[in-house]
Structure formats: C-alpha cells, structure tokens
Structure 1
Amino acid sequence: MPLFIEGRRVQLPQSVREIVRAHPPLEERAKLLRGQSVQLVGPKGLLYVQQRELAVTSPKDGSISILGSDDATTCHIVILRHTGNGATCMTHCDGSDTKTEVPLIMNSLKSLSNHTQNGRLEVHLVGGFNDDRQLSQKLTNQLLHEFDRQEDDIHLMTFCVTELNDREENENHFPIICGIAINIKTAEIFRASFPERGPEEELRSARSLTGGPMINIYDAKTEQLHIGPYFWMPFPHVDFWLQQDDKQLLENLSTSPLAEPPHFVPHIRSTLMFLKKYPFPGNSLFPGNRALLYKKNEGGLWEKISSPGS
C-alpha cells in the first residue's frame, strides 16, 4: 500500500513544490513548525538519536518521554508513529542507504505496534535545504519513494524539507530547522536543541563516521539503551586529518560547510581523536564482546548497568 496525503495517494515522482501545491495544508504545517522558537531539551527523560541511529518506544515507556535529534543540515529527521497505540520511531537519515533504512524503520515500529487495533501510520519528515550539491533534494525523493513502496498505508503529515526548510542569506542557503523532538506521551513535535547528546557520544559518532549502517539503539521492553559491540577498520589518514586546521576539516568532512553549527569542527576533531585512540574497538571498548547497556535512573538520567551475561 502507498503513501497518502489527506487521504489521497501521492503521485510520484514529484518535486517538493508540486506536492505542496497539490496539498496546501502541508505548507501550512511546515510554516507553523518553522515559526516555533527552539526549545532547549535537557537530558531528563530524553533519548537522543544520532546520525544513522533509530529508536522506537511507546507511551507505556516509564523511562523515555522525549525522542530527539539535531545537527541535521542535508540530513533528514524522520518520525514514524502509530496513532492507535502511540508507538513512535525516530531516526536521523543521511542518504547512505535509504532503501534499507526505511524497511528497518517500519519493522522496528511494527515490533511495538498491534496493527489489528484502531489507528494508522503517520510519517513526519524534517530537514535539508537548497544545498548546492542537491543532496537534500535527493534524500527527500529517496524517502518519499521508499515509504511509497511499503506494504502498509502511510500518511504524510509533516513535510518541512528542502525548499520548505530553506532560508537565504547573502546569496547562501541554510536550513531553518536543524533539530526536532517528539513528546511520546502527547505526540507533540517541536523544534529543539540538545546540550546533552550522550551517553557515549564519541563512541557512537565514531561508528557513524567510519560508515556504520543504520541501527536500532533502544529496547523499549527492557527500557535499556544498547551501544555496540561495534567494529570498524582504522580511519584512513586519521593523523593527516588531525593535523588540518578547522577550515580544512569543515570543507572536507561536511556535506554543507556553510550550514554547519559552530560545534561541528570540535565534534569532528574529538571523534577523530577517539578513532586514533581506538583503531580497533574490540575488547578495549566492549569487554567480552558485549554491548554497553544504559538505563534511566530515578532522576531520569542515563546510568551504565552491567553488560548482558556479566
């Protein structure tokens, strides 16, 4: 079954502008989202989703109340939600393997959804802008196409992507919204940024930078965050990159150098230093080849617990 907007089948391929012209409420909802002020979301009750990660949970979760992700420039943040039981999946897609990632998103959500109950699947797409390399446009089209190929009916509710998420300044283009969050209990989607992106931010970033695929990081049944075990080859020419100045790192390791936030280069540099320190993660990071497990404590913050089988 295909992708729907306002009960009508989406006819693909179409440009963003053509889709919005045929469905004006999409542009109105995008305008409302763009007009929001950015909320700072603290770590209490938050599950932060990094690039090439997904997390799925439901209102029954006693630990997680907010799913969030940011730093999306050409990337897109995707939220898929079942309106019947409130099961919600968030992921941060960069276009590396959209054809594989969308079925993974669907299957992860279905693991918490009983499709015999009332409700429907709704998808929200946010991110990208009119970048020079048109990476945003390519990713938007990939996501629309892959969701349209799924067996289930999926209703597109939020479409704040590429030109609908673009602003121009001094003839340069920038994304308006780079981060969003969803309240699992109320289904409210809002603009957000996250001072705290842990746990194990550098380790998770290292996996993504070395080309790791999209993975599910959260087990809603046990309310535990699973990190690893991860494996990667030594990052090529890591010493060379660490010797480069900030401008070189920005221009060579970003898909959209002008649009990156101020912390992009420090974050890349710290991730490269992490990869230099751990060229082969193995037992040095994952004793006994076991995942690192985290669970929210009574204060709503992540706390490391023992690895499975230990």
Structure 2
Amino acid sequence: MEHPSLVSASKAFKAIPERKFSLAEESGTERPEKSKWVYLFQREYATVDPALVDFVGTDEATTCVGFAIRDRKNGMVSVAHMDSPNVVDKGLNQMLSTFVHQSFDDDLDHDSSSSSSESDVRLNGYSLPLCTKIIKSLRKRTEKFHLQTLFVLARNTWRDSEENAHPIFSGFVVETSTGSVIPARFDNTSRCPDEMIRRIRASAAYEDRKWDGKLLETYDTQTDTFKIAPCRWSTENQERIARFLRAQSDSYILLNCSTSPFAEAPDFVQNERKKWDYLIENPDWRKAFPMEQPHVFERTGDGGWTRC
C-alpha cells in the first residue's frame, strides 16, 4: 500500500473527475454520446473486447472490491465486482480463462480501484480479508501481473462529522481503448439489462451449489451479448425473507441488509424493496429461468439492450 508508485497512482486516480453514466429516461431524448458499455452488479464479472465495447465497469461498492485485469498484448479487459474472499480463486480462473493466451509470460495490468474504508475493517472485517486474498492469489499465480492501482481501504476513505467512513468512489470503469481506469457512477437507467434478476442472483446464489466459490456468468465476450446464467433459489425461503424485509422500516433495512449502512447510496433501500417486490410476485426460479435457460440480451443501435 505504501509503495511510492502505488501512492502516486492512488493520488492520480483520486484527482480524476467521476464520470456519470445514464441512458435517456424520456422517450425521444438522445444520449449525448453513443458509448457502448457493460455494467456489472455484485458478484458478477465480464471480459470484453475493446473492438466491441468502450467501457466496462461497476459501482455500488462499499465493502466489496471492484477488480480489473487487462491483457497488454490484445487489450482485452476483465472486470469483477468481488464480494467475498471465497470467490477470489475460482473468480480469477473465470476472468483469465476468456482472454489470456495460454502462456505463463502474459503481461497483465491489474487494478483494484473501488470500495472499502478503514472502518469497514475495524467494525466488520469485510474489506481487509478480501483485499488481502486478492493480492495473495495474484502472487501465487504463474501469469505476470503489473499492479497499476490499489485504491482501497484507507486510500478510498473519507469520514463524516460522526466519524462514519465512506468510500471516496464506489465505482469505476475501464476505458477499453486505452486501459485507463476512471471513477464512475451509474444511475438506474444505466444499470442494465435485467436489473432485478441480476440483483436477486447476487443475494440468492448462496443457495445454488453450482455457484459455490464462483463469480456469476453474465456476458458473452465473443458476441457482445448479455447471457445471464440461471440461478436456483429456494422459493419458500426467498419469498419468506422478502415478505419479512419488505415490511420493515428503512432504517432497519439499512442496518440489517448492508455491511456499511452509513455509506450506502440514497437509492439503496429503494433498490432492495424493488427486489423483494419482484421476488414476492415471482417467487419460483423456474419461472424466472424456464428450462434453466439464460436470459439473452443483444445490444440496440443506441447502446441499450433488448431481450432476444
């Protein structure tokens, strides 16, 4: 953390203006730029081809870690939103399997550019074990990694008047043409496609043994399509939890459904309630994923997505 190059990189990253991503919310309103991006929710990853995608990133990270790897030889970029040390080893295998040449001499840039504060470590111990696991796992691998940015823990912390810690930035994107990492924030129009299903997968994947220790499959690199892999959950259990939590106060939800209740975005509770409403109305995972087939979305001309 105190290596001069990492300190310098953190200062440079902190000085970059945060970029906001938004699709037009009103019909007929044009988006100022026709950029193509891939957005990732918690526990998801995607590897993108710079010939097809301009930006790939994530946000809503407080005690999670946004993690990016770029292959210097071909420019391919893989980004993950890691939420636990348990997904690091298999998650790295998933991220690297898509784009790394089958050679131990690959030169790979690595950035951990989002999330976690000092108090997260002191109070709950979520962020430090995750960051430590990522670094240890990278050191054990045979590929060559060049650590470019490590903007985590104390580097990414500010404190309010009551000494509650907040991340300076809760998200980032990688600009695929250059490999530049930029602080970023997405709104509810740009966290797409299939927002509710993807949020439910993140919270219910622990019930599906297929995803033990793995990141959630979300995006197909070769075709530039979202292929949101199915996830099983206990219909009775998830509906019961959803009904109970939906009836609680906003303060209860913040304190019991977040690892960092004082640092969440203003729309955190609203997004949780929307997820529970969906689960109550659609409790059976088999209806969400008929015949256990993925949800497939292709890109539209304006950079949005449509269900195939």
With normalisation by structure 1, the TM-score equals: 0.85
Q: Distance in 2 between matches of 1:280 and 1:128?
A: 34
Question: What CA RMSD, in Å, does the superposition of the two structures yield over aligned residues?
Answer: 1.9
Q: Residues 84 and 118 of structure 1 are in contact (CA less than 8 Å); yes or no, is this contact kept in structure 2?
A: no
Query: 1:263 Cα deviation (Å)?
Result: 0.5
- Secondary structure of the 2:245 match is helix
- Report the counterpart of residue 147 of structure 1 in structure 2: 138
How does 1:272-291 map onto structure 2 within 5 Å?
272-282=276-286, 284-291=287-294
How far is the alpha carbon of 1:286 from its aligned partner? 2.4
- Aligned pairs, how many? 280
Match of 2:9, SS?
helix
Bigger shift: residues 218-227 or 82-91 = 218-227
Q: Which residue of 2 aligns with 1:209?
A: 203
Q: Is the 8 A contact 2:79 2:95 kept in 1?
A: no
Give distance in 2, aligned partners of 1:104 and 1:242.
Answer: 32
For residues 144-192 of structure 1, the C-alpha deviation after alignment (integer angstroms, 9 at most, x for no partner) is 1122222212221100000111112222211111010011112111011
C-alpha distance in 1, partners of 2:223/2:241?
Answer: 40
Of 263, 267, 274, 1:263 maps to 267
Partner of 2:40: 49
Identity %: 25
**Mapping for residues 51-70 of structure 1, pairs under 5 Å:** 51-61=42-52, 64-70=53-59
Is 2:295 the partner of 1:304? no
Instruction: Report the AA paired with residue 75 of structure 1.
Output: C
Residue 47 of structure 1 aligns to a residue in which SS? strand
- Aligned counterpart in structure 1 of residue 11 of structure 2, from 28, 31, 51: 31
Higher mean alpha-carbon deviation, 104-113 vs 73-82, is at 104-113
TM-aligned CA distance change 1:292 to 1:222, over 3 Å: same
Match of 2:30 in 1: none
Instruction: Give the CA deviation at 1:116.
Output: 5.4
Cα distance, 1:275 vs. partner?
A: 1.6
**Distance apart, 1:115 and its partner CA:** 4.9
Do the aligned residues in 2 keep the contact of 1:88 with 1:184 (CA within 8 Å)?
yes
Match of residue 105, structure 1, among 60, 85, 92: 92
Answering whether residue 225 of structure 2 is matched by residue 224 of structure 1, we say: yes
Task: Answer yes or no: is the 8 Å Cα contact 1:51–1:92 preserved in 2.
Answer: yes
Q: Is the 8 A contact 2:63 2:126 kept in 1?
A: yes
* Secondary structure of residue in 1 paired with 2:60: coil
Letter in 1 for 2:296: L
* 1:81-100 deviations in Å (ceiling 9; x for gaps): 111101110000111513xx
- Describe the SS at the equivalent of 2:273: helix
| C-alpha separation in 1, matches of 2:241 and 2:179 | 44
Unaligned 5+ runs, structure 1: 1-18, 306-310
Matched AA of 1:128: S
From 190, 193, 197, the equivalent of 2:191 is: 197
Q: Is the 8 A contact 1:71 1:178 kept in 2?
A: yes
Identify the match of residue 161 of structure 1 among 145, 152, 167: 152
Quote the Cα distance in structure 2 between the aligned partners of 1:244 and 1:125: 35
1:247 aligned onto 2:251:
yes
1:63-142, aligned counterparts within 5 Å? 64-95=53-84, 97-98=86-87, 101-115=88-102, 120-126=107-113, 127-130=115-118, 131=120, 132-142=123-133
Deviations 1:248-295 (A, max 9, x none): 00000000100111011001111111122222210x222333211111
**Paired residues of 1:89 and 1:105 also in contact (CA < 8 A):** no
SS at match of 1:251: helix
Note the C-alpha offset of 1:119: 5.5
Could you tell me which amino acid in structure 1 is paired with residue 217 of structure 2?
N
**Alpha carbons 1:88, 1:109 under 8 Å: kept:** no
- Structure-2 change in CA distance of 1:105 and 1:216 (3 Å): farther
CA distance in structure 1 between the aligned counterparts of 2:183 and 2:284, rounded to whole angstroms: 37
Distance verdict in 2 for CA 1:199–1:60, change over 3 Å: same
- C-alpha distance in 2 between matches for 1:142 and 1:243: 37
Task: Please give the alpha-carbon distance, in whole angstroms, between the structure 2 residues aligned to 1:242 and 1:65.
Answer: 38
Query: Per-residue deviation at 1:193?
Result: 0.7
- How far apart, CA to CA, are the structure 2 residues paired with 1:71 and 1:217? 17
Deviates further, 230-239 or 89-98: 230-239
Contact 1:74 1:255 (C-alpha < 8 Å) held by counterparts: yes
Structure 2 length normalisation: TM-score? 0.85
Rounded Cα–Cα distance in structure 2 between residues aligned with 1:138 and 1:207: 23
User: In the TM superposition, what is the alpha-carbon distance from 1:117 to its structure 2 partner?
Assistant: 11
Displacement after TM superposition at 1:66 (Å): 0.9
